[in-house]
Amino acid sequence: MNTPKRILVACGTAIATSTVVAKAIEEALKEKGIAVTTRQCKATEVRSLADNADLIVTTTPVPNDLDVPVIKTLAFLTGIGKEEVIEEIIKKLEGK
């Protein structure tokens, strides 16, 4: 239970938007006392990296037949609805 949950953060390049999202998730969950590790990847790499993740958060379309729950959101980029998405992330992580 104490091992940090692993979140895979995907975007087009694994550089730009996924960095923003990964840092935002880490910060928000840390405030709530939940330890997570994030890993950034490109949309093309999601399939091969999904096995090592508890949750995938993405800003761009990814395959929808994965065994891992996927949250597709722009909330961390636009700032709109960010709280709701964080709640959703926590719910999905605890559901595992």
Partner 1 sequence: MEVFLTTLKSVIDSLGATVVLPIIIFVMGLIMGAKPGKAFRAGITIGIAFIGINLVIGLMWGTLSNVAQAMVTNWNIQRDIVDVGWPSAAAIAFGTDVGLWVIPIAILVNIILLVFKVTKTLNIDVWNYWHFAFLGGMVYMVTGNLTYGLIGAAVASALALFLADWTAKAVQSFYNLPGISIPHLTTAPGVPFAIVTNWILDRIPGVKDWKVDPESIQKKLGVFGEPIILGLVIGLVLGALGYYNAESAAVMILQTGINLAAVMLLLPRMVQILMEGLIPVSEAAREFMKKRASDREIYIGLDSAILIGHPAAISSSLLLVPIAILLSIILPGNRVILFADLAVIPFVVALFAPLMKGNIFRMMVAGILELGVGFYIATAMSPLFTKAAQNAGFAMPEGASNITSIADGFLWPQVFFTKLAEWLGVAGIVIAAAVLAVVWFMYSKNSSAWEVAAGAPAENK
Among 28, 20, 5, 30, CA closest to 74: 20
* Contact between 78 and partner 1 per CB under 8 A: yes
Contact with partner 1 (CB under 8 A) among 2, 64, 67, 79: 79
Would residue 11 show up in a list of annotated catalytic residues for this protein?
Answer: yes
Give the nearest distance from C-beta 43 to partner 1 in angstroms: 3
Which of these segments, 29-37, 49-57, 78-86, 88-96, binds partner 1 (CB under 8 A)? 78-86
Beta bridge partner(s), residue 42: 11
Size of the site for partner 1 (CB under 8 A): 27
Residue closest to 66 by CA, chosen among 88, 50, 43, 55: 50
Q: Segment 10-49, which members bind partner 1 (CB under 8 A)?
A: 10-20, 23, 40, 42-45
43-61 burial, b at 16+ Cβ within 10 Å, e below that, comes to beebeebbeebbbbbbbee
- Would you tell me which residues interact with partner 1 (CB under 8 A)? 10-20, 23, 40, 42-45, 58-62, 74, 77-80
